[in-house]
Amino acid sequence: MKVRAADFLVYDNDKGVYVEDPEQIVRDDVEKHYWRHVILTIAKDWRLYLMLVPMLVVFLCWRYFPMYELLGCFKVSDTVLPVSEQLFSGFSYFKRLLFAGDSMSSEFWRALRNTFIISFYGLCFGFPMPIILALFFNEIRSNAARSVYQVLTYLPKFMSTVVMTSLVTMLVKQGSLTTGMGIINRFLTNVGLMDYEVANAGLLNNPAYFRTIYEVSGIWEGAGYDSIVFFSAIIAISPTSYEAAQIDGANKWAQMRYVVIPSILSTVVIMLITRIGGLLNVGYEKVLLLYNNNTYVTADVVSTFANRYGMTGQNPQPGIASAAEMMNNLIGMMLVIGANTIARKASNTSLY
Amino acid sequence: MKRKLEITELIFKIISYTLLTIFALACLYPFIYAVSASISGVEEVQYNRVVLFPKNVQFLAFSRMFKDNMFWNSYTNTLFITLYGTIWALFSSILAGYALSKKRLLFRKFFNFFLVFTMWFSAGIVPQYLNYLATRRIFNSVGIMDDKWLVVIAMGMAAMNIILLRNAFEGVPSEIEEAAIVDGATEMQVLTTVYIPMSKSTIATVSLFFAISRWNGYFWARQMISNNNEHPLQVFIRRQLEQFTDPDMMATWSQPYASDSVIYALIVCSIVPILVIYPFIQKYFAKGTNVGGVKE
C-alpha cells in the first residue's frame, strides 16, 4: 500500500504547498492535553455532571463499597485487620468451606446444591407457566371476560413477600390443641392425598414439602403478572398472519406452532436470559421467611447459610460467610454473561 | 361472516377457559378465606369450620388490631419510608437518567457500565450488612438517630429503573430541546419543562416500582432499625406472626377471638390500601414490564 501525502496533509491553494491538516492539529492537541480537555469540558458543563452526583454517591457507598468489603473473604486468619492489608493473602476460607469436611463444610455443599435445585425447579415449572397463561388469555375473545381473569391472576403480585409468606404459613400451618391445621392441609387430608399425622404436623415443618411450597407459591404469586409481557407480544401479532395460516388449512395447533410461537420467541429468549441471570439469586427473603430448623435439609440456600453464619449467633463469622456468597455470586455472574452471549449468537437478541 | 369453529379450536377454547377459571379462583380464594377467617367466631376458626364464608361474624380481632399502638406506629413508619424513599430515589434517578441520556456526556460508556454491573454482580448480604452497620454508625455519629433515614437513603435505588428513565429521555426528540435552549432555557429548565412532561408515563411507572419496593421492604428494615417503635408494617406483621404461631404462647390462649384471626386481620389490613389504589395504578404496572428489552 502506498502512503500518500494527502492522507496526512492538505494542499494549501494559496501557498501552493502541503500543510498539516488543521483538524489534525486540533486532534493532536486534544490528545496531548487530554485531561485538561476533560476538566475544561466538565467545568463548562458542570450542571450535567452535578446531576450524576447523587446516583454516584449512593452506588459507590452502598453498592460498590460492599464489594470492596467482600474482599474480606480472602483473609488469612480471624485477626481483625483492615481490608486493605488482607487483600489476596489467602484462600483459607474457601478451602475450609469446600474441603474441610466438617459440619460447616457439608452444610455449605448442601446449601449450594439446594440453591441449584430450587432455581432449576423454578426454571422448569415457574418459567413456562406465564407463557401458557398468556396463550390461554389469547383464547378469550371477550375483552371484559379477559380483564376479569387478568385482574384476578395479577392479584397475588400486590402482596409483599412478608404478607405472602404469612398467608402461606397460615394456610399450611400445623394443628395444635388450640388451633386447627391450615385449610390446605385439611383439603389434602380430606381428598385422601395426605395422612392426617403428616398434615397435622404442618407442611412447613416437613422438609419433603418445602420446595413444592416454595415453587407453587411462586407460581401463584407471579405467573399472572409475568404473563403480561408474553400476552402483549401475542396480541402484537398481525391478524393477517392467522388468516394466511387458516387459508393454508392450518388448524389451531398448527397456528400455534407456526404463527404464535415463532412470533413470541424473542420475548421468551429475553425473559429466559433474565431468568437464568437470576438463577442463583434465589430470593433469600422468601426462603428466610418460610424455612425453619426442621427444613434446613431442603431449604437452606447459600444466602441463608451466609445469613446464619455471618450475621446471627453469638460469634458471627462474616469472612467465611462472605466467601460462601462470593462463590455463589461469581457463578451467578458467569451464568448471566454466558446466557447473554449464547442468546446473542443464536438469535441476535440480547439484554445488555 | 362468521367462521365455523374447528374441532381443535373448540378443544383449545374449552381447555383454556377451564384451566384459567381454576387458576383465577386459586388466586382469589386465599384472600376470601383470609377475610372470612379474620371476622369469624373463635370456635369456628379454631375447629376449622370456616371454609368460604365467615361464620358467627365478629370484629374483635380487628378491634384488637386497631387498639394496638404499635400497629399505627408501624403504618406511619411505612408511609414515612415509602414517601421519602420514593422521592429521594426518583429525584436522583431522574437526574442520573437525564445526564446519561446526553450523548455529549464524557465517560458515558463508563457510567453505563457502572450501573449495569450492579445488575450482574452484587456483593451479597453479609458484606452489605457490614456496610450498612458502618453507615449506621456514621449516621448516628452525625446526629441522625432515626435509623429509618438509612433505609430511605441507602436502599431502593435500582440500576434497572435508571436505565428505564434514560431510555425514555433518549426517546424525546432533540428539536424540542433545541427550541427550548434557543428560548434561553437552562439545563434544569430543559429537564423540568421538556423532558419530565414528555416522559410522564415512564416516570409514573418507575415511581410506582420505587414505592412498591419501599412499601414491601422487610429484611434490611428489620436488620437495621434497632428501635421497635420505628419498625415498618412488614416487620410488625412478621413479628406478630412469629408471636401468634408460637405453640407455648398459644397453649394459654383465652381471648374471645382466635389467634389466627389476628394474623388474618393484619394481612387484610395490609392488603386493603393497595387494593383501593389498584385500579388507578394498574395500567402503569402493566406497562412497566413491557419497557424491558434493554440494549447497551
Query: What percentage of chain A exceeds 90 in pLDDT?
Result: 22
| More reliable by pLDDT, A53 or A344 | A53
| More reliable by pLDDT, A84 or A69 | A69
Predicted confidence band of residue B295 (pLDDT cuts 50, 70, 90): very low
Taking only the tens place, the pLDDT of each residue in B1-48 is: 445 567 878 888 899 899 999 999 999 999 999 999 999 888 888 877
Chain A residues lying within 8 Å of B241, measured CB to CB? 166, 169-170
Q: Is the Cβ pair A285, B218 closer than 8 Å?
A: yes
How high does pLDDT run on average in chain A?
Answer: 84
What local confidence, expressed as pLDDT, does residue A77 receive? 53
Quote the cell numbers at residue A320: 467465611
ipTM of the predicted assembly exceeds 0.85: yes
d(CA A171, CA A173): 6
d(CA B282, CA B135): 36
Mean pLDDT of B134-162: 90
| A55, A137, A322 ranked by CB distance to B127: nearest | A322
In this model, does residue B282 exceed pLDDT 60? yes
Mean pLDDT of A306-326: 86
Smallest CA-to-CA distance from A158 within B280, B7, B151, B158 is with B280
Structural domains of chain B, ranges and CATH numbers in brackets: 68-235+282-291 (1.10.3720.10)
Mean pLDDT of B97-119: 91
What local confidence, expressed as pLDDT, does residue B162 receive? 93
Q: What is the pTM of this model?
A: 0.85
Q: Is the Cβ pair A180, B48 closer than 8 Å?
A: yes
What local confidence, expressed as pLDDT, does residue B294 receive? 38
In this model, does residue B296 exceed pLDDT 50? no
Mean pLDDT of A221-227: 88
Taking only the tens place, the pLDDT of each residue in A1-48 is: 666 666 667 787 888 787 777 777 777 777 778 888 888 888 888 889
Q: Is the Cβ pair B120, A333 closer than 8 Å?
A: yes
What local confidence, expressed as pLDDT, does residue A267 receive? 83
| More reliable by pLDDT, A117 or A28 | A117
Quote the cell numbers at residue B200: 410522564
Smallest CA-to-CA distance from B161 within B100, B209, B216 is with B209
Quote the cell numbers at residue B44: 369456628
Say which range, A176-180, B196-200, B287-291, has the weakest mean pLDDT.
Answer: B287-291
Query: What percentage of chain B exceeds 70 in pLDDT?
Result: 94
- Alpha-carbon distance B255 to nearest alpha carbon in chain A (angstroms): 11
Chain B residues lying within 8 Å of A329, measured CB to CB? 121-124
How high does pLDDT run on average in chain B?
Answer: 87
Q: Computed from CA positions of residues A91, A93, A94, A98, in that sequence, does the dihedral angle turn out positive or negative?
A: positive
Tell which of A75, A147, A179 to mutate to test the B interface (max B CBs under 10 Å).
A179
Q: Is the Cβ pair B126, A306 closer than 8 Å?
A: yes
In this model, does residue A351 exceed pLDDT 70? no
Structural domains of chain A, ranges and CATH numbers in brackets: 5-86 (no CATH), 103-347 (1.10.3720.10)
Say which range, A160-164, B156-160, B200-204, B276-280, has the weakest mean pLDDT.
Answer: B276-280
In this model, does residue B285 exceed pLDDT 50? yes
Asked if A263 contacts A237 with a C-beta cutoff of 8 angstroms, the reply is yes
**Which residue from B minimizes the CA distance to A289?**
B238
In this model, does residue B50 exceed pLDDT 90? no
Instruction: Map residue A20 onto helix, strand or coil.
Output: strand
Predicted confidence band of residue B292 (pLDDT cuts 50, 70, 90): very low
Mean pLDDT of A305-318: 86
d(CA A46, CA A40): 9
| More reliable by pLDDT, A280 or A118 | A118
Query: Counting runs of H as helices and runs of E as strands, what totals does chain A give?
Result: 21, 2
What local confidence, expressed as pLDDT, does residue B132 receive? 92
Predicted confidence band of residue B266 (pLDDT cuts 50, 70, 90): very high
